[in-house]
Amino acid sequence: MAVRMEVQEFQSPAVLVPVEFDVVMPGDGEVLIRVQAAGVNPFDWKYVEGLSGRGAPTEFPIVPGNEVAGYVDAVGAGVTTVGMGDEVIWHGFLGGYASHLIVKATAVRPKPESIGFAEAASIPVAGGTAWAAINQAGVGKGDRVLIHGAAGGLGGFGIQIARNLNAHVIGTASAANHDYVRQLGAEPVEYGDGLEDRARAIGPVTAVVDFVGSAETIAATVALLPDLSRAITTAASPASTAAGITPVARDPKSVPSAIDLVGRGYVTVDVSRTMSIRNAERAFAESRTGHTRGKIVLIA
């Protein structure tokens, strides 16, 4: 029996209810995905709890989840780009916390054979957004880029993508994550009181990518970066905008580029935690702490 995790009313913290449903056949231009893994992102709980910046949702039920990896189980009329049994990655808006999902064929991409489903389901949101932010900041050879939030989902991708562009990376994290950040290729620096001085002691920075968006990261960015046109945030707020830090923009190249980098082995994906899709509420609780490492993935 197919199951999806529904948020049925506006509540904080959100309650997720497993609901069984009958699988129907995909319509014209659609495919049915038998989900193997669904990526968890802070947006998933922020959206249903009215904290995403889009206001409180008014229509329920909502099935969270913007990225999955799985097998194509059926194809609708007119679909020529994917076939039965193909291993694919989907990126879209809501619906991913489910064992089966019908989506537009144009929204799926081939899963690289070299990686597993959990890794594949982790790429679109974190990998795609990190790729977009690093590229929007114009990071390249000779740069010294400061990444705020280096140990999280976006951080792991951001460090490796910047290193692939031959930049030197300084990554902020708590002391417990310094070895981890170092392994990913960045020079760690502890956040908290004195961040600006510690970062300055490491040397000048030429670009900043902020995956945190706190008052501290905004102040440090403004103090450390002479050219704020090279400061990009994925956690934009009125304060970051007032400070002159640019929000990350959508880039159609970002998701395919991130998938390609992982598929070719230039970037690895750290899935720090997997749990059953039925435990999505626990995944929300862990993500809500703001201190998870790498990616949390739900297994369908």
Ligand X SMILES: NC(=O)c1ccc[n+]([C@@H]2O[C@H](COP(=O)([O-])OP(=O)(O)OC[C@H]3O[C@@H](n4cnc5c(N)ncnc54)[C@H](OP(=O)(O)O)[C@@H]3O)[C@@H](O)[C@H]2O)c1
By C-beta, is 3 or 236 nearer to ligand X?
A: 236
Q: Residue 252 is encoded by which pair of tokens? A: 């159609």
By C-beta, is 83 or 290 nearer to ligand X?
A: 290
Contact 230, 120 (CB under 8 A): no
By C-beta, is 68 or 248 nearer to ligand X?
A: 248
SS3 156: helix
The minimum distance between CB 270 and ligand X, in angstroms, equals: 10
32: Cβ–Cβ under 8 A, 6 or more apart, which residues?
Answer: 23, 25, 26, 72, 73, 74, 75, 100, 101, 102
Binders of ligand X among residues 244 to 273 (CB under 6 A) are: 248
d(CA 59, CA 44): 15
Contact 157, 211 (CB under 8 A): no
d(CA 267, CA 164): 8
Contact 234, 129 (CB under 8 A): yes
By C-beta, is 26 or 95 nearer to ligand X?
A: 95
Residue of this chain nearest to ligand X (CB atom): 152
d(CA 43, CA 47): 6
The minimum distance between CB 30 and ligand X, in angstroms, equals: 25
- 131 contacts ligand X (rule: CB under 6 A): no
The residue from 7, 146, 235, 267 that contacts ligand X (CB under 6 A) is 235
The residue from 89, 211, 221, 270 that contacts ligand X (CB under 6 A) is 211
Interface stretch with ligand X, choices 96-104, 110-118, 199-207, 214-222 (CB under 6 A): 214-222
* Pattern 155-194, ligand X, x by CB under 6 A: x----------------xxx--x-------------x---
Residue 272's Cβ-count burial label (10 Å; 0-12, 13-18, 19+) is middle
The residue from 129, 136, 160, 240 that contacts ligand X (CB under 6 A) is 129
The minimum distance between CB 124 and ligand X, in angstroms, equals: 10
d(CA 220, CA 240): 11
Which residues contact ligand X (rule: CB under 6 A)? 41-43, 125-126, 129, 148-149, 151-155, 172-174, 177, 191, 211-214, 216-217, 234-235, 248, 287, 290-293
